[in-house]
Amino acid sequence: MEIIIGYLLGAIVFILFIISLFKMVSNRMKTANSELNKRVTDLEKRVEELENK
């Protein structure tokens, strides 16, 4: 009986680990996207300033 409980707890921990991994990856992709968009807009502004000179 203890072996079955151990396997069940292990499976629950593994499932929670997989869920947290997916959440972490999606969160990192969101922040990376927003950072890249900000850098691109900054670079576009700098290019416009250089073209106007």
Residue 23's CB is within 10 A of a number of other CB atoms, namely 10
Residue 47 lies in a domain: yes
Sign of CA dihedral 27, 30, 32, 34: negative
Q: Say how many domains are in the chain.
A: 1
Residue 34 CA to its chain's centroid (Å): 11
Q: How far apart are CA 11 and CA 19, in angstroms?
A: 12
Give, for all 53 residues of the chain, the pLDDT tens digit: 899 999 999 999 999 999 999 999 988 887 778 888 889 999 999 999 999 87
Q: Whole domain around residue 46: which residue ranges?
A: 23-53
Residue 6 lies in a domain: no
Residue 33 lies in a domain: yes
Residue 44 lies in a domain: yes
Residue 24: its pLDDT value, please?
Answer: 93
Which residue from 16, 14, 9, 11 is spatially nearest to 1, judged by alpha carbons? 9
Q: Which residues contact 18 (CB under 8 A, 6 or more apart)?
A: none
